[in-house]
């Protein structure tokens, strides 16, 4: 049986079905540099229609830092109701360990990632940052330092940490993200390689259930049947929506654009047959698709 995934041109065509929207940031709301055309107007229209909007990002930084960056892009708090990041979830897990694995992490951490993500591990009591794997009890991975870097650049530090059997906390499960037109690897790709090397990893953010439970609380008393998750990744956004028991809308002009035959997300329609095949291969249910977020 062929699965047909409806393609829409704007959220106005779906708004009556939902009261709450969980929106991905990178690849949906903005490209890391600026909002996509029509997105600010879409967010304002959603809120004007009485919908609640929670932005959920796998950004490896805390909510205050993410909100400040959005404001720099012109997306102020009147564009959304709530914001949650994987960096915030990571900080919370380090501060208040949710399980024995996190509780067993020692005080000395090695940070793989840029200094701008340091907020993830600051204000954590006796936790201190060290500079060498041999001095560390565990690793915090927030991604690459420079967007031009590749996995090869991180092979030595990952191999050294794996040899010491250091547990790794990953603050961004994404494998890749678009920064402008450039496709850049994320912390999730480093974590994937670390597991290949035998490393023990725990990740925070989409598609893991903890962040969705928090989003439901932030959205208020809305039945899950009335909540729609919008994202551009099958592996994180759609898998997370499926696991949380909510509908998922895939933005086809995001990281899967080449697989779906979308050269220009503003002009080209996706190959819905390919999309159905990708979803089936991943064992995922996709409720709807759009090229770009818009009203």
Instruction: Kindly report the three-state secondary structure assignment for every residue of 42-102.
Output: HHHHHHHCCCEEEEEECCCCCHHHHHHHHHHCCCCHHHCCEEEEHHHHHHHHHHCCCCHHH
Size of the chain, expressed as the number of residues it contains: 295
Give 60's contacts (C-beta < 8 A, 6+ positions apart). 85, 86, 87, 90, 113, 117, 120, 142, 143, 171, 172, 187
In this prediction, residue 153 has a pLDDT band, given cuts at 50, 70 and 90, of very high
Binning the chain into helix, strand and coil, the percentages to the nearest 5 are 40, 20, 45
Same domain, 193 and 106: yes
Same domain, 225 and 252: yes
Same domain, 171 and 113: yes
In this prediction, residue 2 has a pLDDT band, given cuts at 50, 70 and 90, of low
pLDDT in tens, 20-78: 999 999 999 999 899 999 999 999 999 999 999 999 999 999 999 999 999 999 999 99
Three-state SS for 276?
helix
Question: Tokens in use for 270?
Answer: 């996706």
pLDDT in tens, 186-240: 999 999 999 999 999 999 999 999 999 999 999 999 999 999 999 999 999 999 9
Same domain, 108 and 194: yes
In-domain check, residue 70: no
pTM metric for this prediction: 0.93
Q: Are 230 and 24 in contact (CB under 8 A)?
A: yes
pLDDT in tens, 245-282: 999 999 999 889 989 999 888 788 899 999 999 999 99
- Structural domain of 243: 7-58+206-290
Q: How many domains does the chain have?
A: 2
- Of the candidates 261, 38, 59, 51, the one whose C-alpha atom is nearest the C-alpha of residue 179 is 59
Query: Beta partners for 248?
Result: 229
In-domain check, residue 77: no
In-domain check, residue 182: yes
In-domain check, residue 232: yes
Query: In terms of C-beta distances under 8 Å and separation of at least 24 residues, what long-range contacts does 251-259 make, across chains too?
Result: 251/24, 251/27, 251/28, 251/289, 251/290, 251/291, 251/292, 251/293, 252/7, 252/289, 252/290, 252/291, 253/291, 253/292, 254/27, 254/28, 254/178, 255/27, 255/176, 255/177, 255/178, 255/183, 256/232
Same domain, 216 and 264: yes
Q: Are 58 and 89 in contact (CB under 8 A)?
A: no
Same domain, 54 and 110: no
Same domain, 266 and 199: no
Domain boundary among 147, 177, 203: 203
Same domain, 225 and 258: yes
CATH of the domain at 270: 3.40.50.1000
In-domain check, residue 89: no
Largest CA distance in the chain: 57
How far apart, in Å, are the Cα atoms of 48 and each of 56, 78, 79, 153, 295?
Answer: 20, 10, 10, 47, 12
In-domain check, residue 74: no
Same domain, 236 and 191: no
Determine the average pLDDT of the residues in 86-93.
97
pLDDT in tens, 3-17: 689 999 999 999 999
Domain boundary among 176, 203, 230: 203
In-domain check, residue 126: yes
Is residue 283 pLDDT above 50, yes or no? yes
Same domain, 198 and 104: yes
Q: Check residue 3 and give its pLDDT.
A: 67
In-domain check, residue 79: no
Same domain, 174 and 198: yes
The enclosing H or E element of 157 equals helix 151-163
Q: Are 35 and 29 in contact (CB under 8 A)?
A: yes
Domain boundary among 203, 232, 248: 203
């Amino acid at each position: 049986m062929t699965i047909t995934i409806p393609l829409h041109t704007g959220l106005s065509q779906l708004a009556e079905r939902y009261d709450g929207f969980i929106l991905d940031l990178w690849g949906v709301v903005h490209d890391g540099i600026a909002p996509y055309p029509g997105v600010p107007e879409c967010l304002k229209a959603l809120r004007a229609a009485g919908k609640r909007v929670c932005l959920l990002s796998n950004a490896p930084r805390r909510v205050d830092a993410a909100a400040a960056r959005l404001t720099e892009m012109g997306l102020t708090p009147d564009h959304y109701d709530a914001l949650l990041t994987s960096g915030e979830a990571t900080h919370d897990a380090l501060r208040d360990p949710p399980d024995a694995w996190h509780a067993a992490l020692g005080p000395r951490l090695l940070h793989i990632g840029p200094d701008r993500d340091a907020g993830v591990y600051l204000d954590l009591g006796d936790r201190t940052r060290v500079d060498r794997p041999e001095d560390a009890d565990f690793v915090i991975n927030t991604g690459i330092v420079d967007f031009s870097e590749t996995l090869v650049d991180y092979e030595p530090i990952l191999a050294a940490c794996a040899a010491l059997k250091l547990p790794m906390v990953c603050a961004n499960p994404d494998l890749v993200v678009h920064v402008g037109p450039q496709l850049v690897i994320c912390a999730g790709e480093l974590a994937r390689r670390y597991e290949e090397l035998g490393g023990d990893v725990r990740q925070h953010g989409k598609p893991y259930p903890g962040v969705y439970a928090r989003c439901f609380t932030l959205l208020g008393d809305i039945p899950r049947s009335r909540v729609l998750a919008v994202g551009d990744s099958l592996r994180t956004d759609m898998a997370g929506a499926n696991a949380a028991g909510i509908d998922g809308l895939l933005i086809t002009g995001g990281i899967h654009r080449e697989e779906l035959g979308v050269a220009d997300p503003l002009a080209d329609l996706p190959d819905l047959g390919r999309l159905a095949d990708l979803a089936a291969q991943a064992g995922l249910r996709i409720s709807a698709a759009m090229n770009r977020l818009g009203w």
